Structure 1
């Protein structure tokens, strides 16, 4: 056990060393010195990571030790790139990002300590649904919601700043989806008629997916947010497939959302603009169009191309030339300075986190935990796919953020809580079964059987009381 713990802490310390090296290299190349404020914040972050690791050993001793080192590296790489862009744009986004990271670590520590059993979330399934929907629709409240870049997905907190409530809504809706599908999986798994060799669901079981589809289309119409609507619908469909095992649900979900997206592209200009920018990014008319032009995509593509295989070197590129380089297009910024090899390393870190979550979902025996773990990890995987796919022209841009890397406190805290939930579930999945072959267990089992046997003998030897005759008495 000591050797295992040593390897675990060595993995975390290695991630810290790589992170410090990235910051040191970037600052030496851009400013020639390491700023004191970053020294203090990075030191505080490392201390909090070590405290979180200690809390995991104390309260979640069987949890996966792979997730947090990968999350640390992803956060450090993203924040180092944000700090690099700050040097060119004369901003301080990276310092605020480190503050958000420290807050996220504190919340993760509280979750690890107090959520000893994740199944408590099942009791609040409908409360989670209400909270999730309120958070999702809160940007539509007049005076509270804000519209930025054509999408109304932010709310203003008393003039102190903006948050994106949809990032937290995905957690609450994942709780509700897992509980609902666990309770109704038998009805949803019943097949109806066959069509082209595919077992279709019954018409009366189509209600949940229709409701979620309408809610997703509502987000697309009201908030002009293609990414969030696609993420929630894809989360529900994937969890529905895990619950029932029927491929027909995936096919129905893909067809339903594709039909809704095509209709939305014809009706709403902002959706059509993104499709045009995806199909013809180098067309001069589309490139010059504002809003909805392809200038941002093309700039990101040229940044990726200039990075080549090994990149220009951390701190030696020009990522700030791309709009929103520290948030929506941070993957393109990394590609310019770290190259294709660096981008593949980043994707490998995501794959390690996703693989750990999928292994947890396969190992856990509880159906609710299986659905929750698979839903959370698929949400992360889907976000990574849509961001990378949008930047590389595989799919249209969706407006989602890269988990752990993009600038923004809402996304960072929500995804840290997602990782903490996976850690709590993995503790239950990896916990060893109670030993049933020990001498103590056998002795207790024999004692119970002996006691049961003695009671049966005693009951058999007791005289049977005869009822007195109604007319009986002394002769």
Structure 2
């Protein structure tokens, strides 16, 4: 009888093992497929440019296969129940971005390969350190303080750098870095933790929006704080993109935490006022709005970059000119700000549509992780991080096709940029952790909690 009960207790465990083994096998297959697509694209681009294979072919091919395999092994041991589709999509985006950068600037491609390796290391390190999403909630004030310090670090004399009118970089020896990329993650975690704790107070208003309630300090206070902070960032660092991202993350976070539409209403009013004021006060904002309205009028001056991007997209047509067969190098700063236009020229509408679909899939996976999260904090963090990826990709792609004014953000995982790549890998790592917790069977989760409680009691008695 006892052996039968023990066997019955092993059935769920065996089913769980089969479940996560099947998920990880699916992930491995999709990672290999993403590596195969990236290798094929790299070979086509090399043949299209020089009609010959590059001298560093073996090293590049090994790296394109090795990095995804390292990620898979890390997921197998550190996040076995996480969504199997997320990392293959990230690997595909990162791989295609590397191929396009290598086609445009081999020197930057070498650096991008180094940054991608560091990004994978940061991904694995985050999975090890953040073994539970609640750890982030515990250190929210430390994360907020570090986020604010990173935010103002480019203003420090000696290490801060002004590039193209924006003071966003710091230089430490030969390495330049944008600390605001990490700052946005720290601040997002603080926002989520704070609003989860204060959501009863912030959401205690009546369901109808009256003038008296809309002027309440509990509504306008937090929104006004974020609005002023974003304006200060825009004023001191001349960074339109991050200021916009900071404000939108704050507003949408408080809305998701409280389910009060009035926060979106009040935030929208402040956003419009801030945008109008910024367009009149700051030359950089005014220029971007001007060339968004009519870039052709300034085609030989400030509108040259966006006009060349339009020509590139038009030349690509449906299927593109072919990898290595176009002329995207005509576009200034094409590897970072306008890599989406380069993809449109050489891969056409099919290539750009694939990029858009990849980001939509990431957003869908992130929303599913948020819905399945075991805690309100984990759910809100997953939703915010998904929103950051979605908004950032929408802003830059919308700016290139002239749906929106250019904001200066980069296309996640695709564009050249070490700080952006590392911060996005950290973001995805935390999403994978929350997905792993949400998909983990309840009996296994309860067992892990019991073990942690036992270890905690032993540590206290010792």
Q: Same fold (TM over 0.5)?
A: yes
Partner of 1:336: 345
Deviations 1:359-413 (CA, angstroms, capped at 9, x unpaired): 0111113011111111111011010111011111111110000000110111111
1:100-154 superposed Cα distances (whole Å, 9 cap, x missing partner): 1111111211222332112111111111111111111111111211111111111
Q: Is the 8 A contact 1:310 1:342 kept in 2?
A: yes
**1:20 equivalent in structure 2:** 39
TM-score normalized by the length of structure 2? 0.88
TM-aligned CA deviation for residue 59 of structure 1: 2.0
Indicate the residue corresponding to 1:269 in structure 2: 283
- The match for 1:287 among 278, 294, 299 is 299
2:162 equivalent to 1:147: yes
Structure with the larger helix share: 2
Aligned to 1:442: none
CA distance in 1, matches of 2:32, 2:420: 25
Tell me the residue number matched to 2:3. none
Q: 1:287-306 residue pairs with structure 2 within 5 A?
A: 287-289=299-301, 293-306=302-315
Deviation of the 1:4 alpha carbon: 4.3
Task: Quickly say closer, same or farther: Cα 1:435–1:328, change in 2 above 3 A.
Answer: closer
1:101 partnered with 2:110? no
Larger Rg: 1
Unaligned runs of 5+ in 2: 1-17, 446-462
Asked if structure 2 preserves the Cα contact closer than 8 Å seen for 1:42 and 1:98, the reply is no
Native 8 Å contact 2:47 2:53 kept in 1: yes
- Match for residue 320 of structure 2? 311
- Does 1:373 pair with 2:395? no
Deviates more, 1:318-327 or 1:142-151: 142-151
Contact in 2 for aligned 1:224/1:270 (Cα 8 Å): yes
Q: Give the equivalent residue in structure 1 for 2:93.
A: 74
Give the total of aligned pairs. 426
State how 1:184-263 maps to structure 2 within 5 Å: 184-192=198-206, 194-195=208-209, 200=214, 202-263=216-277
User: Is the CA contact 1:380–1:403 (under 8 Å) kept in the aligned structure 2?
Assistant: yes
Q: Per-residue CA shift, 1:153-176, capped at 9, x if unaligned? A: 111112x12111111111111111
- The DSSP-based 3-state class of the residue aligned with 1:162 is strand
Counterparts of 1:124 and 1:26, CA distance in 2:
46
Decide whether aligned partners of structure 1 residues 42 and 237 sit closer, same or farther in structure 2, where only a CA change above 3 A counts.
farther
Point out where structure 1 has 5 or more consecutive residues left out of the alignment: 437-475
Say which of 354, 363, 370 aligns to 1:354.
Answer: 363
Q: For residue 299 of structure 2, give the secondary structure of its aligned residue in structure 1.
A: helix
Alignment RMSD: 1.9
Q: Is contact 1:373-1:422 (8 Å) kept?
A: yes
1:397 to 372, 397, 406: 406
Which residue in the other structure is 1:177 paired with? 191
How far apart are residue 33 of structure 1 and its match? 3.2
Tell me the TM-score normalised to structure 1 length: 0.86
**Which region of structure 1 is more displaced relative to structure 2, 5-14 or 137-146?**
5-14
